Amino acid sequence: MLAFAPLHAAVSVAASVVSWLADTLTPLTGGAATAAAIVLFTLGVRLLISPLTLAQVRGERRRAALAPQVSDLQRRHADDPAKLQSELFALYRQAGANPVAGCLPALLQAPFFLVMYRLFATGDGNSGLLDQRLAGVPLGWHLGDGLTGPVMAVFGVLLVALLALAWFSSRRARRAAQATGTVAGTPTEGPGAAVLGRLLPLLPFSTVLVALVVPLAAVVYLVTTTAWTALEQVTLRRPQPAGIDER
């Protein structure tokens, strides 16, 4: 367990922050204080890592700007993979748009999401967190626990919100791919691109599937972080006027 000590320590710190927020919000939100604390804590973490998201979006835009040249190289060197890779490397290096570096911001965000999942899905670091309630439903309950009116109502509202957010994100992903000819900054032509183009718009709906099997606290987290992601899509991934080279 020594290898997981840093993760456990991070989860414990996060649990302490959520508990402090819940205590602070109790006079305002009453019994929903812990759920409100989850929302505020999630928003705070997403704001903290927003520079990583911004770096990722900039990388996507740089690669999208090179999409026509990449497609041309793929056509010219379709029968010579070694030459194609060499030309692509030179193109990306000249433009300062390393495709591998574009993945780093997403990888750096992963530890934050792992900590939050451990906290809200398992209660790690705060055994009492999942005992708190939202509209009378314990935050540790799953959708299948006690199929009563309050449980169905609370989970129903959150699942509908997740479905709406997933539909919105999927719709924007499809429109962006059609408008720019790229998926996440990658050309939609070439081997595997068609499959990628079909799969990526479906990924937002995976949050709905996850929400069916995790506790209520984690569902509140999923709705909050998914809503933030949708807001980022509107603000950061909006179409850029021609001629703007964002650095």
Phi, psi values for residue 44, rounded to 5°: -65, -40
CA-atom Rg of the chain in angstroms: 21
Q: Which residues, in sequence order, are bridge partners of residue 182?
A: 187
- C-alpha span between 96 and 73 (Å, rounded): 17
Q: What does the pLDDT profile of the chain (247 residues) look like in tens digits?
A: 444 677 778 888 888 899 999 999 999 988 899 999 999 999 998 898 888 778 777 777 777 777 778 778 778 877 778 887 787 777 777 766 665 555 655 666 678 888 888 888 877 766 678 888 898 899 888 888 877 788 899 999 999 999 999 998 888 777 766 655 544 445 444 444 555 556 677 788 888 998 999 899 999 999 999 999 888 878 876 655 444 444 4
Of 52, 47, 53, 65, the C-alpha closest to 246 is 65
Judge whether 120 and 221 are in contact, CB under 8 Å.
yes
Judge whether 135 and 154 are in contact, CB under 8 Å.
yes
Q: Looking at residue 153, what is its pLDDT?
A: 92
Q: Report how far apart, in Å, the C-alpha atoms of 197 and of each of 123, 170, 231 are.
A: 37, 11, 22
CB burial of residue 218 (10 Å; 0-12, 13-18, 19+): buried
Q: Looking at residue 36, what is its pLDDT?
A: 94
